[in-house]
Structure 1
Amino acid sequence: MSVDALADASTDPFRTQTISDDTAADAMPDNPDAALPDQVSAAIPDDATVVSEDHAVTADGELKNITTGETVTDPALVGTQDSQPDPLAKTDGESFIPVQADEVKQKVAANGGDANAGAADAQTAPDTPDTQPEQPRPNDSSDSEQPNQSDSSAPSDSASTSDSGEAIGNASDSATATNGAAKATTKGSVRLAALQNNEYGAHWGSYNGTAAFFDASNNLFVQQAKGVIDVSAWQGNINWQAVKNSGVEGAIIRIGYGWDNGFDKQALRNISECRRLGIPFGIYLYSYAYDANTGAAEGSSLVNLLQKAGVSSSDLGYPVYYDLERWTWTGHEVPNDPGTYDGIVNAWYGRLQSAGYNNLAVYSYTSYLNTALNSGNIHSKTRWVAQYGSSMGYTAFPTNDRGWQYTSRGSVSGISGTVDLNAFGNQTATSSAPSVPVYRVYNPNSGLHHYTMNYNEVIMLVGKGWRYEKTAFRAGQSGIPVYRVYNPNDGNHLFTMNSYERDNLARLGWHDEGVSWYVPSGGSINVYRLYNPNNGEHVFTTEYGEYVLVGRAGWHQEGVAWTSL
C-alpha cells in the first residue's frame, strides 16, 4: 500500500483500506474470483466503495452501476426506506470484500481499460440498473420448512508436500483452488480438512500432529484446525449428509439480516440438519445497524429468532457472530467511525448476553477492521475475519481461537455452486476435549423429560407429541459413563453414573439401555439435578435460575450432578 493511501486511511476512518493485492490482473483487488471491469464510469468518485463486480456505493450511500455510473434503485438491491435488502443480492449470493474505487480504477487503467469513462460511452446502459441473478433470488423472510435436499459430486483431493519435520503443507501454484490431502508426519497420521486451498497459496497442512492452515509463505495461522463452511439461502437445499461425508467439520449458518426480517429461508433446515448429523454449527447475523438503538434492535430480533429455532447457548459449537460490513440501504447512512460502531456492538452484545448467549464474536474483513471498525473494543471481540489472498493481514485476534474466511469460491459435495471456505482453530495448541450436545424433550401427557444425544430420536419423539425444549448440557466423548435405564411401567428414564444402581434396577425389571453419554474430566459448567417426589423423575439443567425456580415449585434440589463442557 502506498504512503498516500496510508495517510488517507488514517485521516478518513470510513475509507476502505487495501492491505495487499495478490489478485490476477483481470480480477478485482482483494477478490480473486471477481472480474475486473473494462471501464469505470467517471461518475464513480475515487472515495466510493466497490461492493460487487457491478456496483459501487458513494460516501452518501448511493449505489451506482460501476461501468455506467447510473444510480441503482432496484429495491431487491438497495431496499426501501422501511425495508432492508438481502445484502447478498448484489453479488448473487457470493461473498465480496469491499474495496476502494480508486484502487479499482488504478488496476483498470493498468490493465488497459478506461478508468474515467463517460456514462454515454459505456458499453451497456440498461434502462434498469441491474439484472436478475441466473437462479431465483431466495426469499429470506420466511419461517417455512424447506424442500428436500439435492446431491452433487464430491471434489477430489490432491496431495500436499512436506515443508518441515513438524509443519507439513504446501502452497498451491494453481490459479484455481486445489484440495488439501491427509499427510503422515513423524507424530503419526493426521487427517487434514477436505476443503480446498485458496487461489494464492494459503493452504492446509499439518503441525505438531494436528491439521493446520498456513499462509502462502508457510506461516502457521492455526493448528488443531477445522474446515468450516458458512452458508445462507443462496446455497439452496444443501445435502448435509454429502457435506459431512466430504469432510466438512463445521458450519456457520446465516439466520437472517438486520431486524424484524424473519429467518433466512434455509436457516431452520440448515440448523436442523446440522443437529441431526452432529455437525458443529454457529450462527451469524448481517448488520444494518446505524446507531446503538438499531444495534439493540438487531440483538433483540436475533434472540427472538434463536429462541424460535430452539437454539440455546449449549447447542453452539461455534459462536454467534455479528457480521459488520459496509452496507447499502436506501435512505440510510452507514456508520463511518469506530465510536458509533462501539455503541452498536455493545448494545447488540448486551441483548444477547441478557438472554443467556455468551459465546459471541464479531466477523468482518481486514480493511474495515483497520478503518471504520478500528476500535480496541471491537478488536477485542473479533474472532473471524475474511481476507482472500496469500496471507492474513489482520493480527489483532484477541483469543487463541480464530477463523480465516480464505475464499468465496469453494466447492463442496452436497452444495450446488460455490460456498465460502474457512479455517478455524487455535494459534497455540490446547487440550480442550471435544463435546457433544445432550438434548432435552418433554412429554406433556406424562410430565416426564427425556435426554438423548441422538437428534434422530428427538425428531421421532417430537413427531409423537413430545416438545423439544433445548440442549440441556454438553457431554464428553470419553470419561465417566452415564447409564440409561427405562421403567416400562410408567415410562420413566433414569440416568445414573452408578453401575450398581443400574444393575439393581435391571433386576427389578427396568430395561438397561446402555451408556447415554460420558462425564468429561475437564468439565467446568455445573449440571444441576432436581427430583420430583410425585413421579420419581429427575431433571438436569445447567441454568441456575431454572434450578431455583423448579425447586420453589416443590422439586427437591439435589445439587451438582456433574460438570459439563
Structure 2
Amino acid sequence: MSNLAKFIAAVSAATMTATFALPAIAQPLRDTDLDAPTTVTLQSQPASDDSTDAMPGNPDAELPDKVASSIPDDATIVSENHAVTSDGKLKDIETGKTVTDPELVGTKTEQPDPLAKTDGESFIPVEASEVKDAVKASGDSESSASSTKPIALDNNEYGAYWGTYNGTQAFFEGSGKLFVQSAKGVVDVSAWQKNINWQSAKNDGVEGAIVRIGYGWGNGLDTEAARNISTLKKLGIPFGVYLYSYAYDATTAAKEGANVVNLLRKLGVTPSDMTFPVYYDLERWSWTGHVPPTDPDVYDAIANAWYEKLQAAGYNNLSIYSYTSYLKTALNSSNIWSKTRWVASYGSRSGFSFSTNDRAWQYTSSGTVNGITGNVDLNAFGYARAIVEQGAANSVYRLYNPNSGLHHYTTVYNEALTLATIGWRYEGVSFLASDSGSPVYRLYNPNDGNHLFTMQNGERLILASQGWKDEGVAWYVDAKAANPVYRLYNPNSGEHVYTTNADEYEQVGQAGWQQEGVAWRTNG
C-alpha cells in the first residue's frame, strides 16, 4: 500500500470514519463527458421529468382521477391521496372528506410520522390548483391517468445525469449545466426502508447516507436509526442525520434542537462521526389542532433557535433541507437560504440558487438500490466549484480538520482534494517545495493522528523508534532558498504547524505554542 493510501485510510478511521476512492487528476471538461457519463449502479437511476399522468413536481406519483370540488385551489397536495387546507385539515383528494386517522394526522398532543401519508416515500407538496390543471390536461389527452410514466434518462435527453468534471464524478442538470463536482451518490432513509442491508447497498454504489433520527419532539428515535448508524459506522459509509420539523415557533424549535442533541448523545454520535451535516427538515406539515407557519420571519426564528441548541452542544456542521417551492414562499428569507445546502426537486434541474459551494440535490424519490426494500430517495452531494485549486508544481497544500483541530501539509493534489471532500478545510498553498535538494521527511503518529515534517534525520529516527510511522520523503527544499518556514509546537495536542507568515508565527506563539524557529527555507 502506498503512503498516500495508508494516510487516507488512517485519517478516515481516526477522524472521519469514512473511506473514499481517490479521484483522478483534474482534467478539463470534454464534450464526450456530457454524452458518455460515468456509469455506476446507484447513479444510473433516472431523474425523471414530469409526465402528463404524474403529479406536478412528482414524476413518480400517480395523478388522481379527480380532485374534489370542495378542496380549494390554495390547498396543498401533500401525497397521492391527501391535501392540506389553509386551516391545517387533512383532506382526501377525491372525496374532499376530512381525514381523522391519528396515524396520519396525530392528536393535539402527539405528532404523526410525516411519512405515514406517503407510505414512507418522499413527496414534494404542490398547490391544489396545479393538480387540478394537470387532471384536466390528462383527461383531455389520450394518455391514461391510472399509472405514471417516468421517463428514463438517455444521454441527458430528458433529465439530470451523472458524468465527470475536472476528473471527478459529477452531477449535471438536464441542460448540461454542472450542479456539483467531487460528487457522491447518497441515499436518505428512515424506518420505512426497514432493515437495510448496507453492505449490499455499498456494493451497489451507495457512497453516503442521511439517516432520519426522528421527527418533532418527544417521539423518540426513528426505530431503525440506531441500527442504521451503527452499521454505517462499521462499514465506513459516510453519513449525516435529519430531523423532520413540526415547530411552529422558536420555543418548539428549541425543543426540537434539544431533542436532536439528546438523540445523538443517546446513540453516542459525536460531531466527528458525521461527514455530512445534521439537517433540519422544514416542510409544510399537517398535525391535528395545529397550523404550520407561513411567515418567513417566524421560520427565521425557528431556524435560529434550532441552530443555537445544536451549536451549543458542539454540532456545528448544520444545514436546512426543504423543497424548492417552499423555499420560495414560507422559507423565502436570506437567513434560511444561506443555511440551505440540500433541496428536493424531481425535474431536470434543482431550481434553487445556493449560496454555498457545498450542496446536495434530492433528484428522485423512486430510486432502487440493492439491499434496500422498495423505493428510496437518491441524492447528489458535492461542490459547485473545485474545493482545492490545483497549484503550481511543488505546491505544498495546507488543510485543517475542524473536528480534531489538526493541520496537514501535502504536495499531492489528490490527497488534498480527498481530505477536503471528507470535511477538511482547504487553507491554500502554504509554500513551494523544490524538485531536488535536501529532503523533508514525513512521519505519522497513529495514536493521535498527528503528522510531523522534519529535515533532521536524527529526529526522524528517534520518532520512528517511538512508534511513529516513517512515511519517507514528503518533498525537497533548496538549501540556498531565502524565505523561512517557521515551525511551532502545541504542547497540549502534540501538533506542529508550519508557516511562512511571521505575524502568524508571533500570534500563535503568544497563544501558548512553542516557537521552534526556522524549519527550512523556501523560494516561494
TM-score (norm 1): 0.62
C-alpha contact 1:175 1:200 (8 A) present in aligned 2 = no
- In the alignment, is residue 109 of structure 1 matched against residue 136 of structure 2? yes
Alpha-carbon shift at residue 504 of structure 1 (Å): 3.5
Counterparts in 2 of 1:175 and 1:474: CA distance versus 1, 3 Å: closer
Q: Per the alignment, do residues 80 and 411 of structure 1 end up closer, same or farther by CA in structure 2, a change over 3 Å counting?
A: same
Higher helix proportion: 2
Using a 3 Å threshold, how does the CA distance of structure 1 residues 227 and 89 change in structure 2: closer, same or farther?
same
Q: Contact between 2:444 and 2:468, CA under 8 Å: does it hold in 1?
A: no
Name the CA shift for 1:107/1:527 in 2 (closer, same or farther; >3 Å): farther
1:504 aligns with 2:465: yes
In the other structure, the counterpart of 1:333 is: 291
Worse-matched range after superposition: 426-435 or 206-215: 426-435
Name the SS of the counterpart of 1:253 in structure 2.
strand
Q: 1:298 to 1:426 in 2, by over 3 A?
A: same
Aligned to 2:484: none
Cα deviations across residues 222-254 of structure 1 (Å, max 9, x unaligned)?
Answer: 111111111111111111111111221111111
Could you list the runs of 5+ residues in structure 1 that have no partner in the other structure?
Answer: 1-20, 114-173, 181-196, 440-472, 486-492, 506-511, 520-525, 531-537, 541-556
Q: Which amino acid aligns with 1:421?
A: L
Deviation at 1:270, TM superposition (A): 1.2
The alignment status of 1:263 with 2:218, answered yes or no, reads: no
Q: What's 1:342 paired with? A: 300
**Alpha-carbon spacing, 1:301–1:100, altered in 2? closer, same or farther (3 Å):** same
Match of 1:69 among 96, 99, 124: 96
Matched, 1:314 2:276: no
Separation in 1, partners of 2:470, 2:95: 66
2:65 to 38, 56, 70: 38
**1:405 has 2:366 as partner:** no
Give the Å deviation of 1:366: 0.5
Q: Aligned pair 1:421/2:383, yes or no? A: no
Tell me whether 1:239 sits opposite 2:197 in the alignment: yes
Letter in 2 for 1:294: T
**Larger relative contact order (Cα-Cα within 8 Å, sequence gap ≥ 6):** 2
Decide whether aligned partners of structure 1 residues 330 and 210 sit closer, same or farther in structure 2, where only a CA change above 3 A counts. Answer: same
3-state secondary structure, aligned to 1:261: coil
SS at match of 2:385: coil
- Aligned-pair CA distance for 1:501: 3.6
With over 3 angstroms needed to count, the CA separation of the structure-2 counterparts of 1:250 and 1:291, relative to structure 1, is: same
In the TM superposition, residue 494 of structure 1 has moved relative to its aligned partner by: 11
Question: SS at 2:243's partner residue?
Answer: strand
Which amino acid in structure 2 is aligned with residue 408 of structure 1? S
SS of match in other structure, 1:298:
helix
Whether contact under 8 Å (1:315, 1:437) holds in the other structure is no
Find the counterpart in structure 2 of residue 251 from structure 1. 209
Asked whether the equivalents of residues 215 and 244 of structure 2 are also in contact (C-alpha less than 8 Å), the reply is: yes
Letter in 1 for 2:62: A
The letter of the residue matching 1:234 is W
Q: Retained in 2: the 8 A contact 1:201–1:390?
A: yes
Q: Report the AA paired with residue 319 of structure 1.
A: P
Letter in 2 for 1:268: A
Q: Write out per-residue CA displacement over residues 129-170 of structure 1, whole angstroms, 9 at most, x where no aligned residue.
A: xxxxxxxxxxxxxxxxxxxxxxxxxxxxxxxxxxxxxxxxxx
Amino acid at match of 1:211: Q
Counterpart for residue 221 of structure 1: 179
Q: Aligned pair count?
A: 385
Aligned-partner residue type, residue 71 of structure 1: T
CA distance in 1, matches of 2:400, 2:191: 28
Q: Given the superposition, is the C-alpha separation of residues 313 and 353 from structure 1 closer, same or farther in structure 2, using an over 3 Å criterion?
A: same
CA-CA distance at 1:57 after TM superposition: 0.5
Q: Is the 8 A contact 1:257 1:286 kept in 2?
A: yes
Deviation digits for residues 170-201 of structure 1 (CA, Å, limit 9, x no counterpart): xxxx9444699xxxxxxxxxxxxxxxx9x941
CA, structure 1 residues 500+29, in 2 after alignment: closer, same or farther (shift >3 Å)?
A: same
- Which one-letter code corresponds to 1:86 in the other structure? D
Tell me the SS of whatever aligns to 2:139. coil
Residues 331 and 438 from structure 1, CA distance in 2 versus in 1: closer, same or farther, beyond 3 angstroms? closer
Q: 1:178 to 1:40 in 2, by over 3 A?
A: same
The offset of 1:528, in angstroms, is: 6.6
Give me the whole-angstrom Cα distance separating, in 2, the residues matched to 1:317 and 1:58: 38
User: Corresponding residue for 1:482?
Assistant: 444
Distance 1:500 1:53 in 2: 68
Distance 1:513 1:243, change over 3 A: farther
* Secondary structure in structure 2 of the residue aligned to 1:362: strand
Change beyond 3 A, Cα 1:515–1:280: farther
The change in CA–CA distance for 1:529 and 1:242 in structure 2 (over 3 A counts) is farther
Shift of 1:45: 1.1
**Could you list the per-position Cα deviations for residues 415-466 of structure 1 after superposition, in whole angstroms to 9, with x for gaps in the alignment?**
1111100111111111189999999xxxxxxxxxxxxxxxxxxxxxxxxxxx
Deviations 1:265-293 (A, max 9, x none): 11111111111111111111100000010
Aligned to 2:318: 360
> Residues 405, 496 of structure 1: CA spacing in aligned structure 2 closer, same or farther, 3 A cutoff?
closer
Q: Which runs of 5+ in 2 are unaligned?
A: 1-47, 141-148, 390-396, 405-422, 427-440, 453-458, 475-487, 496-511, 517-524
Aligned partners of 2:443 and 2:469 also within 8 Å: no
Distance (whole Å) between structure 2 residues aligned to residue 494 and residue 242 of structure 1: 31
Cα distance change of structure 1 residues 178 and 69 upon mapping to structure 2, 3 Å threshold:
same
Q: Distance in 1 between matches of 2:445 and 2:513?
A: 18
| Displaced runs of 4 or more, over 4 A | 176-180, 432-439, 473-476, 493-499, 512-516, 526-530, 557-561
Tell me if structure 2 keeps the 8 A contact 1:200–1:389. no
Aligned to 1:286: 244
The aligned amino acid for 1:313 is P
Change (3 A) 1:382 1:47: same
What amino acid is the match of 1:61?
G
Q: CA, structure 1 residues 110+208, in 2 after alignment: closer, same or farther (shift >3 Å)? A: same
Q: Is the 8 A contact 1:362 1:381 kept in 2?
A: yes
Amino acid at match of 1:420: D
SS in 2 for 1:414: coil
- Give the CA deviation at 1:315: 1.5
Kept after mapping to 2: 8 A contact 1:314/1:474 = no
